[in-house]
Structure 1
Amino acid sequence: MTLAELLARPFGTIPEMVSFAASQRPEHPALILNDKSLSYAELDTLIARVAASLQRDGYVPGDKIAACAGTSFEYVALFLGALRAGAVMTPLPPTATPLNLDGMLANSGAKILFQDRACATTWPTDSLVENGLHRIWIDEQQGTDSWGEWLSGDKQPRPVDTQPHWAFNLIYSSGTTGTPKGIVQPCSMRWSHVQRAATNGYGPDSVTLASTPLYSNTTLVALLPTLALGGTGVLMSKFDARRYLELAQKHRVTHTMLVPVQYQRILDDPEFDRFDLSAFQAKFSTSAPFGAALKAEVLKRWPGRLTEIYGMTEGGGRCELEAHNYPHKLHTIGRPASGHDIRLIDEAGQEVPQGQTGEIVGSSSAMMEGYYGMPEKTREVEWFDPSGKRFIRTGDIARYDEDGFLILADRKKDMVISGGFNIYPSDLEAEIDQHPEVRESAVVGVPSRQWGETPVAYVVLKPDATIDRTDLLAWVNARLGKTQRLADLVLTDTLPRSEIGKVLKRELRERYGAHAK
């Protein structure tokens, strides 16, 4: 069977596609990291050993496998090996707070955690191990509970007949208090990503540079299809603009997925123009608003196609802007992708007429099953049209222009996207309000050249408060995860409110913008 015939099937799995690539070109590099490479034959063998090890330990299809670690060959093999065994990979962000990581792990129900020593310095899990958690040190080859000792010598796991509706992975939305929502993505959703990648030029000769963490959906939507189609994935342990350029030139990179702030940092490198980026065929951007001026600069200075992808980890509707084909539409997020039904609804849940503003809802073959263990939260983001067709609500407000391109107007949920990561102001406000000298607070996102957006807090202190701005900012940031920390904190006498008492966050953003000038 050929690659084209495999892709034409209604459903397939990524591990079997990797095995096919290994049978065709066993010595072709599948992964490159820190000047080391892993061939397809080696990756396929490692995937099989992971699956066999999980089966040996009694894990069956549907069981959750958690990981909290940095980028490595082992992490990729674990992800794909879990899938081959029918298990559900649960990647946890090392940047989250220990409280949130405890909550994510508990919510997932995972009984095994693959962790590295660096993550353990900020999230100690010894007490969890004492209470029954099976912990494997993914970055160690020898010793008790090490990856090397855990891996089975058996290279032939029992076959598993993976079904389209089975959970592929459980990815958690960000948050800083309580338990973030676990997004269940089915295997059919990931297969649609592979098929879509083939139409976007990914293939056996592709070289994809992945510079975001492996727990991020932004990374997975580019890296996993690359491996499924027999290409090469170049990994970065940590993003650095100069290092990115060096790797792109050295490996003749053809494809990449970046968040907008990364494009900005790369273009800002004073040596950008001396690097040979002529091998680039396609560049993609997602996860955060992509300014028209920045898109224009990328088109002008960086070879290859540029496509902005608007969508959610939850799936549903996706828009694509082929910026290279529509340079006069850079202020938009493009048009609905093929097979994606995107509509706009009002507060009452009714579709709005053409040209009017409404909340974006979308439906497609790429949709989450729901939030794991949170049926009420799942229902909150679902919308059904009169025929009963299921859509996912985005919380974003937009309108269609006369050519069918979507223009974002505002965020209904006031979510802040910083460096490609979602930050929910209500979570940060809950932390600030726990300080005994704080009366109330409001967090807004403000523009940042470094991060795209960054959170800023406006705080009203109690009348007898003695704490100053600097000390309060330090107190709050010490309680937040690395990606959620406040860039600034402003003390104010009152917060602006509407007639019904709602804090006017748009006014706060404007006030901060005027203050920063």
Structure 2
Amino acid sequence: MTIAAMMSADYGVMGDILRERAKAGPNHPAVIMETGESVTYAEFDALANRVAAALQRDGIELGEAIAVCALSSIPYAALFLGALRAGVAVAPIAPSSTPEAIAGMVADCGAKLFFLDAGVEEAQKPAPIAVRQVRLDTDAFDAWLAPLNARPRPVEIGPDHPFNIIYSSGTTGTPKGIVQSHGMRWRHVFRGDAVGYGPDAVTVLSTPLYSNTTLVCFFPTLAGGGTVVLMKKFDAGRYLELAQAHRMTHTMLVPVQYRRLMERPDFDRYDLSSTHLKFCTSAPFAAELKADVLRRWPGGLVEYFGMTEGGGTCILIAHEHPDKLHTVGQPAPGHDIRLIDEDGVQVGPGVVGEIVGRSAGMMNGYHGRPDKTAEATWTSPEGWRFIRTGDVGRFDEDGFLTLMDRKKDMIISGGFNIYPSDLEAVLIQHPAVVEAAVVGVPSDAWGETPVAFVALKGGQAADPGEIKAFVNGQVGKTQRLADVRVVDSLPRSHIGKVLKRELRDSWQKSPSA
């Protein structure tokens, strides 16, 4: 079968595509690290074979899992692809997790091997992990690999077989393992040609390989025969240097990274004219920031709204709809997105409701957690399975979705619903405020009341009371802030989501309103 036929098929396997790409362009660079280290497609394919053969040698069977906790690297990327070729699911874990959480996730996924780097090895000492460990950043990885030119036994990988198990952040409780199938991941690859992921594509990725945000671009780039440039950690100046030097065509960034890039005084000095498409996901993306990116950065801008769990995705093609930058776009082709009320009844346009979605790309479920899988499921009147997002939104008359807030973040004060995003939009209009987050805290009088945490622009100073008055003068009586706190920066996850629970916890330790 030709590569073109494979890429247009309803289902395919990443390991097979990589093998054909290696035959078609053996010397084409597949992965380049920011340090300059690189592998060609032929070298990458051979590494993946050695990984797959080593896993089979060690008795890891089709459908079983390995765990990996490390910063991005070529060995990490090869391990991921090699495991997939052997039909072994990968559980990528964030190194920023606590030692206890890492141990818990390794145990939960049933991994028989745990791959890590120096930083994780040192951090895990308070909670040692019993399974066999292999360091990716030493000669131990080379020693573990099967011999040169090794080839794994062929395995039949079906669309329902687990591709990876991605764990939720655990910021609201015990992390849940989101099981994504080969069929679900194939949908990301299948749409790659439409956005230009061909052999000439160069995708710069500064988000980590353990994040779904990264993987939705990483795999389609390789399936298309392009080149991935990986950064271990995001640095705005270094990112711009790499984008210019490698003539970047594609990238995925989270909103806080876009903001840090656009704030750089030297941003406009870099030649980014090769950019074809920029993507964004994972956190709210301010309309003003989108407009700035469109104005000053060549190429298109596409925002995805969806979940690691899959279900429904909305897409905003920002360069085609500059009047809809306050929205997250329209449902993607083939995606059914609806809004439901507290009773699970569907609501119409203009009415606020919880967002639920259905598509060909949906998780199998939460690993070993049928109760949580059931909680995340809404069944439509037709009997179809939808995934509940926990987000609240509203469709406009043109079918564009405005995202309000996380359902759990909505504040109920004196019986009135307050959406933090409404207040945050006013806060960032203050000339000294660069970012803001509003959370609900307990109130004897109202049940809950909103308080704001703000970070100021470099070199700016502002009195919290003045910021509070600025906001309260523009909002309704029920929305008024009880207090404003100035912080150096907002706490964020590795993909840029504001950790509102940490803000609430800090308030509980020293309430002042």
The TM-score range, normalised by the shorter chain, is 0.7 to 0.9
1:157 alignment partner, one of 126, 147, 152: 152
Q: Which residue of 1 aligns with 2:135?
A: 137
Q: Which residue of 2 aligns with 1:147?
A: 141
**CA distance in 1 between partners of 2:452 and 2:52 (Å):** 43
How far off is 1:10 after superposition? 1.5
Q: Which residue of 1 aligns with 2:377?
A: 382
Q: Which residue of 1 aligns with 2:186?
A: 191
The answer on 1:234 being equivalent to 2:223 is no
How far off is 1:127 after superposition? 3.8
Distance change >3 Å, CA 493–CA 307, structure 1 → 2:
closer
Distance change >3 Å, CA 166–CA 218, structure 1 → 2:
same
The answer on 1:52 being equivalent to 2:56 is no
How far off is 1:124 after superposition? 2.3
Count of matched residue pairs? 442
Q: Is the CA contact (8 Å cut-off) linking 2:198 and 2:221 kept in structure 1?
A: yes
Distance change >3 Å, CA 492–CA 21, structure 1 → 2:
closer
TM superposition score normalised by structure 2: 0.81
Distance change >3 Å, CA 45–CA 179, structure 1 → 2:
same
Structural mapping, 1:287-298, within 5 Å: 287-298=282-293
Q: Which residue of 2 aligns with 1:407?
A: 402
The answer on 1:395 being equivalent to 2:396 is no
Q: Is the CA contact (8 Å cut-off) linking 1:104 and 1:179 kept in structure 2?
A: no
Distance change >3 Å, CA 393–CA 7, structure 1 → 2:
same
Q: Is the CA contact (8 Å cut-off) linking 2:100 and 2:127 kept in structure 1?
A: no
Letter in 2 for 1:406: L
Q: Which moved more, 1:253-262 or 1:105-114?
A: 105-114
TM superposition score normalised by structure 1: 0.81
Q: Which residue of 2 aligns with 1:301?
A: 296
Per-residue CA deviations over 1:115-164 (Å, capped at 9, x if unaligned) read 111111212288433xxx110111111xxxx1111001152110011100
Distance change >3 Å, CA 46–CA 285, structure 1 → 2:
same
Q: Is the CA contact (8 Å cut-off) linking 1:103 and 1:178 kept in structure 2?
A: no
Distance change >3 Å, CA 178–CA 311, structure 1 → 2:
closer
**CA distance in 2 between partners of 1:94 and 1:442 (Å):** 35
Q: Secondary structure at the match of 1:256?
A: strand
Question: Once superposed, which parts of structure 1, at least 4 consecutive aligned residues long, lie more than 6 Å away?
Answer: 441-445, 492-495
Q: Is the CA contact (8 Å cut-off) linking 1:18 and 1:229 kept in structure 2?
A: no
Per-residue CA deviations over 1:343-366 (Å, capped at 9, x if unaligned) read 111111111122211111000011
Letter in 1 for 2:78: A
Q: Which residue of 2 aligns with 1:8?
A: 8
Q: Which residue of 1 aligns with 2:27?
A: 27
Letter in 1 for 2:371: E
Letter in 2 for 1:28: H
Q: Which residue of 1 aligns with 2:85?
A: 84
Q: Is the CA contact (8 Å cut-off) linking 1:309 and 1:320 kept in structure 2?
A: yes
How far off is 1:386 after superposition? 1.5
Per-residue CA deviations over 1:257-282 (Å, capped at 9, x if unaligned) read 10001000011111111100000000
How far off is 1:250 after superposition? 0.1
Q: Which residue of 2 aligns with 1:74?
A: 75
The answer on 1:333 being equivalent to 2:334 is no
How far off is 1:389 after superposition? 0.8
**CA distance in 1 between partners of 2:261 and 2:116 (Å):** 31
How far off is 1:3 after superposition? 2.9
Q: Which residue of 2 aligns with 1:454?
A: none
Distance change >3 Å, CA 493–CA 100, structure 1 → 2:
closer
**CA distance in 2 between partners of 1:214 and 1:445 (Å):** 33
How far off is 1:179 after superposition? 3.0
Q: Secondary structure at the match of 1:413?
A: helix
Q: Secondary structure at the match of 2:31?
A: strand
Q: Secondary structure at the match of 1:221?
A: helix
Distance change >3 Å, CA 28–CA 447, structure 1 → 2:
farther
Q: Secondary structure at the match of 2:363?
A: coil
Letter in 2 for 1:401: D
Q: Which runs of 5+ in 2 are unaligned?
A: 411-419, 422-436, 442-447, 458-486
Distance change >3 Å, CA 251–CA 400, structure 1 → 2:
same
Letter in 1 for 2:19: S
Q: Secondary structure at the match of 2:262?
A: helix
Per-residue CA deviations over 1:197-255 (Å, capped at 9, x if unaligned) read 22111111100001001101101000111011100000001100000000000000000
**CA distance in 1 between partners of 2:121 and 2:508 (Å):** 36
How far off is 1:175 after superposition? 1.4
Distance change >3 Å, CA 236–CA 442, structure 1 → 2:
farther
**CA distance in 2 between partners of 1:2 and 1:444 (Å):** 59
Q: Which runs of 5+ in 1 are unaligned?
A: 418-422, 430-440, 451-472, 496-510, 512-517
**CA distance in 2 between partners of 1:42 and 1:113 (Å):** 24
The answer on 1:272 being equivalent to 2:273 is no
How far off is 1:492 after superposition? 7.9
The answer on 1:207 being equivalent to 2:205 is no
Distance change >3 Å, CA 341–CA 134, structure 1 → 2:
same
How far off is 1:82 after superposition? 0.5
Distance change >3 Å, CA 391–CA 196, structure 1 → 2:
same
**CA distance in 1 between partners of 2:113 and 2:60 (Å):** 10
Q: Secondary structure at the match of 1:307?
A: strand
Q: Which residue of 2 aligns with 1:315?
A: 310
**CA distance in 2 between partners of 1:493 and 1:47 (Å):** 52
Q: Is the CA contact (8 Å cut-off) linking 1:31 and 1:38 kept in structure 2?
A: yes
1:249 alignment partner, one of 240, 244, 248: 244
Letter in 1 for 2:16: E
Q: Is the CA contact (8 Å cut-off) linking 1:397 and 1:412 kept in structure 2?
A: yes
Distance change >3 Å, CA 397–CA 262, structure 1 → 2:
same
**CA distance in 1 between partners of 2:240 and 2:254 (Å):** 15
1:367 alignment partner, one of 347, 362, 369: 362
Q: Is the CA contact (8 Å cut-off) linking 2:69 and 2:115 kept in structure 1?
A: yes
Q: Is the CA contact (8 Å cut-off) linking 2:60 and 2:112 kept in structure 1?
A: no
Per-residue CA deviations over 1:460-483 (Å, capped at 9, x if unaligned) read xxxxxxxxxxxxx9xxx9xxxx99
Per-residue CA deviations over 1:78-129 (Å, capped at 9, x if unaligned) read 0011110011100011001111112111111112100111111212288433
Q: Secondary structure at the match of 1:76?
A: helix
